[in-house]
Amino acid sequence: MLSKEVLTSDRWSLLRASAITSVRVIVTALVVIAMMIPIGRMSYSRVQDQLVLIGFLVLWTAVFLVVFRWQIRRVRRARHPQAAMVEALAVIFVIFVCVFSKVYHLVSVTNPGAFTEQLDFFSSVYFSLTILATVGFGDITPVTVTARALTMLQMVLDLILLGVAVRVISGTASRTLERRRGNASDEPGQTPEASVPR
C-alpha cells in the first residue's frame, strides 16, 4: 500500500506536468495566432515599414532564443526527458516556421513583387516549410534581393537548427537520463525512477 505522502507527491507531480503542458500549448497557440493577425497594407518605399520588418526579426529572434533556452532547462528537469525532448523540438520548430512565415508575409505585403506570387499567411507557411524541408518545389520563388537574402538566411538557420538545436536538446535529454541512472546506481536499493526530482 502506498503512503499518503507518495500519493500527494504523485498528484502534485501530475498537476505540475499538466500545468506546464497547458502553458506550452497556450504559448504555441498565441504565437500562431499572433502570426496570423492581418498586417494591413505597407509601402516598400517607406523606411518605417523596413524598420518594422527589422524590428519584427529582432523581437522574434529574441523570443526564439528565450524559448530555446527554456526548453533546454525543461528537458533537464523533466521526469521523462525523452518525451520532453520531442515536445521541445516541436515547440521550437513551430515557432521557427511561424517566424519565417510572418517575415515572408511582411515582405510580400511590403513589396508584392518580392516573390513570384503575393503571399498570404498560409502561402508563407507553405514556402517556409518547403525551405525547411529542403524540398523547394519552385512554385513560389523569391525575386527581390531582400526576399532572396531572407530565404538564404532561413536556409542557413535551417542547417543550424537541424544540426545544432536537435543535437543540443537530444544531448541534454541523454545526459539527464545518464545522470539519473548514475545517481540511482550510487544509492543502493534505489531505481532510476526513484531518483527523479519531483
User: CATH code at 15?
Assistant: 1.10.287.70
What the block records as the C-alpha cell of 112 is 508584392
Phi, psi of 142 (to 5 degrees): -75, 140
Q: Is residue 67 part of a domain?
A: yes
Residue at 2 is within a domain: no
Identify which has the larger pLDDT, 9 or 129.
129
Kindly report whether the global pTM for this prediction surpasses the value 0.75.
no
For the stretch 16-69, pLDDT in tens is: 666 667 667 766 776 666 666 666 555 555 666 667 777 777 887 888 888 888
Domain that holds residue 139: 8-195
**Grid cell digits, residue 113:** 513583387
User: Can you give the pLDDT at residue 164?
Assistant: 86
Here the cell at position 80 is: 521523462
Could you tell me if residue 30 is inside a domain?
yes
131 occurs within a structural domain: yes
| Residue with more model confidence, 130 or 86 | 130
Instruction: For residue 115, list its beta bridge partners.
Output: 142
With H, G, I as helix, E, B as strand and everything else as coil, classify residue 103.
Answer: helix
Best CA proximity match to 75, nearest among 6, 5, 184, 172 = 172
**Could you report the per-residue pLDDT of 130-184, keeping only the tens digit for each?**
998 888 788 899 999 889 999 999 999 989 888 888 888 888 888 888 888 877 6
For residue 80, what pLDDT is reported? 80
What pLDDT, on a 0 to 100 scale, did the predictor assign at position 6? 45
What pLDDT shows up at residue 198?
Answer: 44
Question: Would residue 121 count as lying in a domain?
Answer: yes
User: Within a domain: residue 117?
Assistant: yes
DSSP, collapsed to helix, strand or coil, labels residue 115 as strand
Domain count, the chain: 1
